[in-house]
Chain A
Amino acid sequence: MSLAGFLRTLLIVGAVAALEIACRTGAIKPTMVVAPSAMALGVVEALRDPEFWRHFGVSVQAVAIAMVIAVTGGFCIGFMLTRVPPLRRAVSPFLASYYSIPHIAFYPLLIVIFGLGRTPLIFLATMFAMVAMILATMAGLDRVPAVLAKTARVHRLGLVDEILRVRLPAAAPHILSGLKLAVAYSFIGVIAGEFIMSTEGIGHEIAYAYDNFNNQRMYALILIVLTLVTSFNMSVFAWERRMLKRRGL
């Protein structure tokens, strides 16, 4: 293990141990935070519960749909905007200020429009995630060196080949960082939405446990969500690292 890896492990183990001690000695009350060992028990209990898996499935499905729409749609829109400069200039102030909008505040409105199903959630998460992808796609395509585009023309590539074989691979590192954001934002959008108003899903389960003072279950569910999101993001990150290393970045 590298020194950095060792320090990282030490940090996590230390923090968990400190929390465990603080909870056991009563410095932190169980009504506030439960001990990590209790959280772990809660996780085991949740994983055995078929009802948990139903909620889990519902959430993951919504996240997956939002993610796919956000990534493909965001990419297409970003791509189109780089090809149509006047349109891009027209919308760029909106894109730049987009993330100052508290998206979640529109969720009740979305429920009025779409009804209390999965649609408003997926819509919210997609809206939240898509703009990150649009911005990353544009940043990536903007930074394709002019000499590579010229090289494509010297090789007499058609527009489609130029895009697929030269511009996209050249822009890939930027596009991938947009993808990472879009993944995280899709999770946030779905779970936060479920938290506020929903009848199912992990977010709803966390809120339900909270309302019922079931701290052990609440923390267990939060832990599961954290693990899921981090491992998903880590795998994208590992892929990205491999690609960047090859390019000497």
Chain B
Amino acid sequence: MRTAAAFATPVTPASAAAPAPHARLEGVTRVYPARSGGDEVHALGPISFDLRQGEFFSVVGPSGCGKSTLLDVLSGLAKPTEGTVTFEGAPVDGKVPDGVGVVFQEDASFPWLSVEDNVAFGLRRAGTDAAETRRRVEFAIGFMGLRDFRRAYPSQLSGGMRQRVCIARTLVMQPRLILLDEPFGALDQQTRLLMGDELLRLWRETGATVMLITHALDEANLLSDRIGVMSARPGRFIEVVETGWDRERDSSLAERSEFGAVTSRLWSLLRGESLRAMGQGQAAEKRA
């Protein structure tokens, strides 16, 4: 079998001594304008941070803290109100740059296309030649374990399988930065663990930089090199925790004692913020 290392586009750092960040946020904020009768919502920031080349970075935070807004701004799906976002040195300005792939929490498979056609969607739109498309689709379908379902339609698949289709559809584009917005949020616990292992394999074999948004602390812990802990709205990083795990890791990591220590650390950072976020929610309910 062909390995994904050959499949991914290697990115060489600008200088070996101090590698340039893969993506950078500088003083980024996002404020949603006031809607009728309400106040404007300061959803995010100011946030400044670097995503390192090839790292697995997770973002955890209380609900409503602006995690998804962070992803939207970083991917170019939304423009920051203030500040700048750069990807591979070039500014991201309200347009998704080439080399960025996004997987969403909601089912984003196209119900009118078969699994195969879903996976091939991006390549066909980009005008990749047929042989190359076939090769890459074949690889992605095999990689995500979808071989037996290639002619099935999403409605015939479980939620976990549909999410695999979406990941495969992202994978064929050979993204150098993969952003995942709670991709396993709608899945059951066992499926989540297995999908986590697959995500690690994908990350190792493609060499891509990954940013995962999740609300599951042990998932973030298990998968990540670094975990950004966000505050209640407006979301800011209160701390970035380094896990120090080996690159070759899987869900068996959860049995180690250091693993529990990291999860405890994350929770102690988040507990107060989560309470604050709940308070915000209740206050908003009272106003309404």
Q: Which residues of A approach B to under 8 Å, CB–CB?
A: 145, 147-148, 150-151, 153-157, 161, 165-166, 169-170, 172, 243, 246-249
Contacts and interface: CB of A to CB of B under 8 A. Distances in A.
B104 A172 contact: no
Nearest to A145: B106
Given A147-B107, A248-B156, 10 more contacts: A145-B106, A148-B108, A150-B77, A150-B102, A150-B104, A156-B95, A156-B96, A165-B125, A247-B111, A249-B155
B106 A154 contact: no
Nearest to A172: B112
Contact of B121 (A145, A155, A243): A155
9 contacts: A147-B106, A148-B108, A150-B77, A151-B102, A154-B75, A155-B122, A170-B110, A170-B111, A248-B111
B74 interface: no
A166 B113 CA distance: 11
Interface of B: 75, 77, 95-96, 98, 100-102, 104, 106-108, 110-112, 121-122, 125-126, 153-156, 170, 173
Nearest to B106: A147
Given A147-B107, A156-B98, A170-B112, A247 B125 contact: no
Contacts of B170: 154
A173 B108 CA distance: 17
Contact of B153 (A153, A165, A247): A247
A153 B98 contact: no
A222 B200 CA distance: 68
A147 B112 contact: no
Counting chain B CB atoms within 10 Å of each CB, the highest count among A148, A151, A153 belongs to: A151
A155 B108 CA distance: 12
A161 B122 CA distance: 11
Nearest to A158: B125
Nearest to B95: A156
Interface residues of chain A: helix, strand, loop or mixed (majority): helix
Contacts of B112: 169-170, 172, 243, 246-247
Contacts of B110: 148, 151, 166, 169-170
Nearest to B97: A156
* Across the A-B interface, the 8 shortest Cβ-Cβ residue pairs: A248-B155, A147-B106, A247-B111, A169-B112, A154-B102, A147-B108, A155-B122, A151-B108
Contacts of B122: 155
Nearest to B122: A155
Given A247-B153, A248-B111, A157 B125 contact: yes
Contacts of A148: 108, 110
Contacts of A150: 77, 102, 104, 108
A113 to B, nearest CB: 43
Nearest to A150: B77
B108 A153 contact: no
Contact of B77 (A153, A157, A166, A248): A153
A153 B101 CA distance: 11
A145 B125 CA distance: 20
Nearest to B96: A154
Counting chain B CB atoms within 10 Å of each CB, the highest count among A154, A156, A157, A248 belongs to: A154
A247 B126 CA distance: 25
Contact of A248 (B100, B101, B104, B153): B153
A156 B102 CA distance: 12
A154 B72 CA distance: 10
Contacts of B96: 153-154, 156
B125 A155 contact: yes
Contact of B104 (A147, A166, A169): A147
Contacts of A161: 125
Contacts of A246: 111-112, 153, 155
Counting chain A CB atoms within 10 Å of each CB, the highest count among B96, B154, B173 belongs to: B96
Contacts of A172: 112
Nearest to A146: B106
Contacts of A156: 95-96, 98, 126
